Structure 1
Amino acid sequence: MTAPEAAPGHPPTPASPTKPASNVRWIICALLFFATTINYIDRQIIGILKPTLQAELGWSEIDYGTIVFWFQAAYGIGLLACGPIIDRIGSKLGYAGAIAIWSFAAMAHALFRTPGGFSFARFALGLGEAANFPAAIKSVAEWFPKKERALAAGILNAGANVGAIATPIVVPVLAIQFGWQAAFIVTGMLGFVWLAVWLIYYRAPAQHPKVSPSELAYINADAPTMEEEPKIPWRTLFRHRGTWAFMSAKFLTDPVWYLFLFWLPDFFAKRHGLDLTSFGPPLIAVYLLADVGSVGGGWLSSALIRRGYSVNAGRKLALLVCALCVLPIFAASTVSGLWTAVGIIGLAAAAHQGWSSNLYTMVSDTFPRSSVASVMGIGGAAGAVGGMLMANYVGRVLESVGSYAPVFVWAGSAYLVALAIVHLLVPRLEAAPAPTVTR
């Protein structure tokens, strides 16, 4: 006989937490993976089409940098706003609203031709896309025990790489056959397909009709119920060192990933003479490696913890391995061979995604589930500010010296600096203390 399904509101039972009779949590993880894939298709399309749009619409490097700047600005604003909203209304409605906004904005790009019009569309896109990771990591915190969270975060984070792989495959075909406007419209419509599935299937674990009592017990084995967890007001999150550690790491390292998304096609075009029809294979190779890094980085810390390392040691050792693997990017702009450059950049992209999988999980290690989306939003906003500075910097460097060398030097050093700051601020990963109540 199979274990009975949990009715809505069904409490955990004494069923063995080590062998759950259902695996609904992994279906939820798959939905988060596909949402992140769509998120990155809509985000990266501007980078794929950059040479085409510059040639057809006459944009300068500074024009393109300004368009990226406004996406980053909106992304930062959206992250600050969406965290408290998602913590208040929950993952289901928060995610649904976000993907509706960003899908409309993605399709709206087809209406514009000027840098100002594209900046407006990118601003709207950034506002919507900002909610993806706060909502996703909150869902992971709700659906997974601590020992599986880094792996689950790595899998959903791999959706970013799949999106980045799919974009150079799909977008050139659409742009060449039907025009660049069609590429924005078709990819934007994918979000509404996902939205329908999400609204039909998603429930909180205790209310989901397909979650067995043993799976619910497994999910909640190492965590208090949401009702028992401390509620940390948004403003007081800034009193915790964990918040500042996450903010610092995101500020320093998120711009490197934005560099890959928005400027890598242009790097291959300028340094190796590729165009819309030929830079697909190098980009796919980079993001396939990034996919391996995303899942591998999450697996590494989870494996270390299973072998007896503390959560603190497991997470930070994985972060150190990732930071060291980024260092060779110093040489990416100086090597003459295309595939040598692809290998160096692909290793750095893999390391970044492994780094992110563990950095995200640190938030759920140190903050109650009721505050995870808020902390994710604050850190993501810091990363967006770093991305804004990067967009202006890269645009001006290319306009003045025409080389990516200074940019890659900065990218290679960012992770070790960030890890040092994280360790100084949070020598041990511990749960944030409950707020004191004043009378």
Structure 2
Amino acid sequence: MTSLGDQIAQAPETAEHAVPRPRGRVRWIICGLLFAAVVLSYIDRLVLGVLKPELSATYGWSNTGYGDITGYFQVCYGFGFLFFGWLIDRIGAKTGYLLAVATWTIGHLAQVLVTSTTGFVIARIPLALGEAGTYPSALAAVSQWFPKKERALAIGIFNAGANVGAVVTPLLVSLLVVTFALNWRWAFIVTGLFNVVWLGLWFWLYRKPADHPRLTPEERAWIETEPSVDVGRATFRSVLRHRETWAYMAGRFLIDPVWWTFLFWLPDFFSKQYGYDLKSFGPPLVAIYILADFGAISGGWYSSHLLKRGVATGRARKRAMFVCALFALPVMFAVQASNIWIAVGFIGLACAAHQGFSTNLFSLPGDLFPRYAQGTLVGLGGFAGAAGGFIASKSLGLLLDTVGSYQPFFIACGLAYLLALLVTHLLNPRYEPVTINP
């Protein structure tokens, strides 16, 4: 009887041939803009989580009420993913990203007008809808600008922006609210202004590779080493017919709730478990998300390294995910940690595992689907992940108000990645390109 790791390693594939690296780095400038956008999106969604202990004490919020804020955010985020996934396939990454960032900026700034949990639920609707356009737009841009040999690395780099945003947010909010003694509303105003700067840079710098004036012939040839079909449109129905779609959706449904709950609830966990507050839980959060950054880039680098050595695409992606899933297991013991830094180590490993795992899972649309169908698939996966996040967030809020313990959640987190890999491998054992009639 073979192990899961052996089955994954034996999945049949055809390896990519090596191609000399080009002169020119325009594609990495584009990747830097994508990285910055993910940083900003995570700053904007996490400001409220960092302020949660203070706002709860000031305005009398319950855990269930805060669970409503995070849960309904994820519902809107899921439907936004469906919309933007469909839209990006039709209007492209440039216009789609402009629309997404402008929409979420409106919702982010609207939060200064409310104080109740119901008010924040309503104000964050455009924030959720707009931020849902982040990954469909970014993955579409990476698919245009990076060949398969570099795609997972590029995804890992911009996906690391989530961790940078999570590191910067508690430090920035603490600086504004504690050090400068500003009203909590300024945390939303200052971070919202950063988005305006990014919108100008994206409008000015982003073009398709064929239209970019600074692209060298060598870099353009490198980008275009893989044939692609850009003309056509895919419907949700045509994409849902394929097992590979359900593999991607199942993976997102199982792992996204872990990440979402960490993002929204870790400040509360440190406050209740170790008595940390806005002045003190910054360093633990920074340490956790620095580890997560390492996981995002390492996970993308590892599968790209395997591809360059001649390992088949599916085998490389799944092997990287399997390693990441093993690193998530110790988080099951986080609640029993005798001090906060042991808990930080367990949670940091799990966050690193999540980012490395998701980086390789995010590569599936670009690896297997034609470009005109990738946005639709990313939208479906995002919707599935948000649905799982909604269930997890509502359940955790009720659990804390009744049982008062994070233990069941951390056990589920530790097991989620092995389960996700098993399900995706069973649904997509061969990891072969999908044909969709445009």
Which range, TM-score by smaller chain? over 0.9
How far residue 345 of structure 1 moved from its aligned partner, in angstroms, is 0.3
Alignment of 1:67-146 (within 5 A): 67-146=69-148
1:211 counterpart SS class: coil
Which residue is equivalent to 2:197? 193
State the identity as a percent.
Answer: 50
Which residue is equivalent to 1:238? 240
Which residue is equivalent to 2:218? 214
How far residue 231 of structure 1 moved from its aligned partner, in angstroms, is 4.1
Between the aligned partners of 1:233 and 1:407, the Cα distance in structure 2 is 36
CA deviations over 1:252-305 (Å, ceiling 9, x no partner): 100000111000011111111100000000000000000000000000101111
**Residue 314 of structure 1 pairs with residue 313 of structure 2:** no
Structure 1 counterpart of 2:330, which letter?
P
Indicate if the aligned counterparts of 1:245 and 1:426 stay in contact, CA closer than 8 A: yes
CA deviations over 1:356-392 (Å, ceiling 9, x no partner): 1100011110111111111111100000000100111
Indicate if the aligned counterparts of 1:17 and 1:217 stay in contact, CA closer than 8 A: no
Which residue is equivalent to 1:416? 418
Which residue is equivalent to 2:188? 184
Which residue is equivalent to 2:209? 205
Alignment of 1:384-403 (within 5 A): 384-403=386-405
CA deviations over 1:205-227 (Å, ceiling 9, x no partner): 00000011111110010232524
Structure 1 counterpart of 2:86, which letter?
P
Shift in CA distance, 19/299, structure 1 to aligned 2, threshold 3 Å: closer
**Residue 338 of structure 1 pairs with residue 343 of structure 2:** no
Indicate if the aligned counterparts of 1:107 and 1:189 stay in contact, CA closer than 8 A: no
Between the aligned partners of 2:108 and 2:194, the Cα distance in structure 1 is 10
Which residue is equivalent to 2:374? 372
Query: 217-226 or 317-326: which moved more?
Result: 217-226
Indicate if the aligned counterparts of 2:166 and 2:286 stay in contact, CA closer than 8 A: yes
Between the aligned partners of 1:241 and 1:35, the Cα distance in structure 2 is 31
- Runs of 4+ with >6 A deviation: none
Shift in CA distance, 211/225, structure 1 to aligned 2, threshold 3 Å: farther
Structure 2 counterpart of 1:348, which letter?
A
Which residue is equivalent to 1:383? 385
2:219 counterpart SS class: helix
How far residue 322 of structure 1 moved from its aligned partner, in angstroms, is 0.7
How far residue 20 of structure 1 moved from its aligned partner, in angstroms, is 2.0
Question: Which of 44, 48, 55 is the matching residue for 2:46?
Answer: 44
* Root-mean-square deviation (Å): 1.2
Question: Which of 281, 284, 306 is the matching residue for 1:304?
Answer: 306
Indicate if the aligned counterparts of 2:229 and 2:371 stay in contact, CA closer than 8 A: no
CA deviations over 1:177-226 (Å, ceiling 9, x no partner): 21111101111111111000000110000000001111111001023252
Which residue is equivalent to 2:429? 427
Between the aligned partners of 1:221 and 1:410, the Cα distance in structure 2 is 42
Which residue is equivalent to 2:65? 63
Which residue is equivalent to 2:170? 168
Indicate if the aligned counterparts of 2:370 and 2:435 stay in contact, CA closer than 8 A: no
Show structure 1 runs of 5+ residues with no match. 1-15
Show structure 2 runs of 5+ residues with no match. 1-17
Structure 2 counterpart of 1:118, which letter?
F
Structure 1 counterpart of 2:60, which letter?
G
Between the aligned partners of 1:175 and 1:62, the Cα distance in structure 2 is 25
CA deviations over 1:34-87 (Å, ceiling 9, x no partner): 000000000111111110110011100111000111110110110011111111
Between the aligned partners of 1:316 and 1:277, the Cα distance in structure 2 is 41
Structure 1 counterpart of 2:187, which letter?
A
* Count of residues in correspondence between the two structures: 419
Between the aligned partners of 2:233 and 2:403, the Cα distance in structure 1 is 51
What is the TM-score normalised by the length of structure 1? 0.94
Which residue is equivalent to 1:11? none
Which residue is equivalent to 2:266? 264
